[in-house]
Amino acid sequence: MTAETTQTGNWVEVTTTDKIPAGKVIHVAPAGTHMALANIAGKLFAVDARCPHKLGPLARGTVQHNEIVCPWHRFRFDVRTGQSAAPAATFSVRTYPVRTVDDRVQILLEHDIDN
């Protein structure tokens, strides 16, 4: 695993692009955190792994359009904003910046996550 420090945080390598094909969501755990990493039409998005409803495992959910669907009660979360759609619109998950460097997938963790 490699990391690059910026003013706002650290880019931490979590996997490689071959492990996250289009239409899939996987669990990654950089620096003790837990996230669901989704590939939607070739673009990667990271959100908190625990559903805010009843802590369902979003990394075991499915990807539909721009959303991850929780496997427990089917709440949907937009991976771009973290916001759930109605009727569960009061729920949201945190989102994290994702980038690829060659075939390496990196997530930006803010400094306070490491401390």
Residue with tokens 């979003």: 58
Whether the Cβ atoms of residue 77 and residue 58 lie closer than 8 Å to each other: yes
Which CB sits closer to ligand FES, 30 or 52? Answer: 52
Q: What minimum distance in Å lies between the beta carbon of 89 and ligand FES?
A: 13
Q: How far is the CB of 1 from ligand FES (least distance, A)?
A: 29
Q: Give the range of 6-14, 36-44, 48-56, 95-103 binding ligand FES by CB under 6 A.
A: 48-56
Instruction: Kindly tell me which residue out of 60, 62, 72, 113 binds ligand FES, with binding defined by CB under 6 A.
Output: 72
Rounded distance between C-alpha atoms, residue 102 and residue 99, angstroms: 10
Tokens standing for 34? 């837990």
Select from 75, 78, 93, 106 the one that contacts ligand FES (CB under 6 A): 75
Out of 37, 63, 70, 108, the residue judged to bind ligand FES by CB under 6 A: 70
Kindly report whether the peptide bond that precedes residue 97 is cis, defined as omega within 30 degrees of 0: no
By the rule CB under 6 A, 56 interacts with ligand FES: yes
Rounded to 5 degrees, what angle do the CA atoms 94, 20, 77 make?
30
**CA–CA separation, 42 and 52 (whole Å):** 26
Which positions touch ligand FES (CB under 6 A)? 51, 53-54, 56, 70, 72-73, 75
